[in-house]
Amino acid sequence: MSAERKPGFNTLAIHAGAQPDPATGARATPIYQTTSYVFEDVDHAAALFNLETFGNIYTRITNPTQAVLEERVAALEGGTAGLAVASGHAAQALVFHVLLEPGDEFVAARQLYGGSINQFTQSFKKFGWSVRFADTDDAGSFRAALTPKTKAIFVESIANPGGIITDIAAISAVAKDAGVPLIVDNTLATPYLIRPIQHGADIIVHSLTKFLGGHGNSIGGAIVDCGTFDWLASGRYPTLSEPSPSYHGIIFAETFGNFGFAIAARVFSLRDLGPAISPFNAFLILTGIETLPLRMQRHCDNALSVAEWLSGHEKVAWVNYAGLPGNKYYALARRYCPLGAGAVFTFGLKGGYEGGVRLVSNVRLFSHLANIGDTRSLIIHPASTTHRQLSDEQRARAGAGPEVVRLSVGLEDVADIIADLDQALAAV
């Protein structure tokens, strides 16, 4: 490939970050299953610990398999640097660990994965961090939720479980006016469908467990530094703008420029909190990413067919899939993700809570479990599982009311997927 040509998405999904192994010539990225690495000499060791050169010290912080994964995800998103961690929740925790001090706040969309709502409202309180919620459908509600203590805004590009398409650009405008970074969870869309950096995101997080890995066999998370935020402008982010006592007074935003956030997340937050991804999981997720474009298109095509079929079923009260003409989010889907509206969506049963329980109890091809983004079709009744820790009001606001069923449509023959839903609905 010529130096002038920029690789396409399919090429990046296979090649970004990877080279044949210099020691063995292995073409697939090896699993570097080691805890630590031999230094060349004392000076080399000192330079590594002082962040004067890049290299491997300890697998909790860096690992060659992990490094390929990080570069590949960052390349697909168009960011300046990436960091792979143990899970999507770990990615969120590390992002806020860099940004927030005790007493600080952030604003988040209330239409989020239930586990994120619980993390933000319960676990983060132990760090002295507070969240204020806003409505994804109303960018003005984010502006109204801002206070002098606000340090960030957090949204999902496609919200889980409702499949809501977020107007990222409108919310980014609010963040920019407030001088705070916009964090976008891009798990459901993946960069194949939406690249949040193109719409004003400053930091992107992923649960690699879902569509990027794609096979339901490994847990992982990722942070992508978009390199778009000026951490020195306001002085409100001391981890990035003030001398670090851990590294002899280094100022991350000055020393590392447009990837300073990613470095701080690695050598400060990951180093000390420790949620490292295993080399084996990094290898499995890398393998999954190689087929991401093929899988995501099939996921979207199948999901649209299933949503169309459910829309005409007598026991279904409503279907919320942004790919359906007439859906509230159809115009946003055409704008942000013209290749497809994703594979995760919800629908409501006329049978209410009991109908949802009966449906998930009678599927045969679908797997009833708490995950999304697998090659297999997955189903869950959020009110009795993933969102059960929330109040009735919180569940309703999150799009997980008593009648709601969430599907993650897989890669099977779509006729088989529909046939399974048909026989299970007969029991409702």
The confidence score (pLDDT) of residue 405 equals 95
* Confidence (pLDDT) at 268: 95
**Please, which contacts does 11-14 make with residues 24 or more away whose CB atoms are closer than 8 Å?**
12/72, 12/75, 12/76, 13/72, 13/76, 13/289, 13/290, 13/291, 13/292, 13/293, 14/290
Question: What ranges do the domains of the chain cover?
Answer: 9-288, 292-425
How many whole angstroms separate alpha carbon 209 and alpha carbon 88?
8
Q: What is the pLDDT of residue 163?
A: 87
| H, E, C per residue of the chain | CCCCCCCCHHHHHHHCCCCCCCCCCCCCCCCCCCCECCCCCHHHHHHHHCCCCCCCCECCCCCHHHHHHHHHHHHHHCCCEEEEECCHHHHHHHHHHHHCCCCCEEEEECCCCHHHHHHHHCHHHHHCCEEEEECCCCHHHHHHHCCCCEEEEEEECEECCCCEECCHHHHHHHHHHHCCCEEEECCCCHHHHCCHHHHCCCEEEEECCCCCCCCCCCCCEEEEECCCCCCCCCCCCHHHHCCEHHHCCECHHHHCHHHHHHHHHHHHHHHHHCCCCCHHHHHHHHHHHCCHHHHHHHHHHHHHHHHHHHHCCCCEEEEECCCCCCCCCHHHHHHHCCCCCCCEEEEEECCHHHHHHHHHHHCCCCEECCCCCCCCCEEECHHHCCCCCCCHHHHHHCCCCCCEEEEECCCCCHHHHHHHHHHHHCCC
Residues 6+ apart with CB under 8 A from 87: 207, 209, 219, 220, 221, 275
Distance of CA 87 to the CA centre of its chain: 10
Question: Which tens digit of pLDDT belongs to each residue from 254-290?
Answer: 999 999 999 999 999 999 999 999 999 999 999 999 9
pTM of the entire predicted model:
0.95
pLDDT of residue 316: 98
Which residues of the chain carry a pLDDT beneath 50? none
The per-residue pLDDT for range 96-129, each reduced to its tens digit, is 999 999 999 999 999 998 889 999 999 999 999 9
> Which CATH homologous superfamily contains domain 292-425?
Aspartate Aminotransferase, domain 1 (3.90.1150.10)
For residue 3, what pLDDT is reported?
Answer: 62
Query: Residue 149 burial by CB count (10 A; 0-12/13-18/19+): exposed, middle or buried?
Result: middle
**9-288: in CATH 3.40.640.10:** yes
What is the pLDDT at residue 1? 53
Task: Output the pLDDT for position 2.
Answer: 55
Q: Determine the pLDDT at residue 399.
A: 72
Give 140-184 pLDDT, tens digit per residue. Answer: 999 999 999 999 999 999 998 778 999 999 999 999 999 999 999
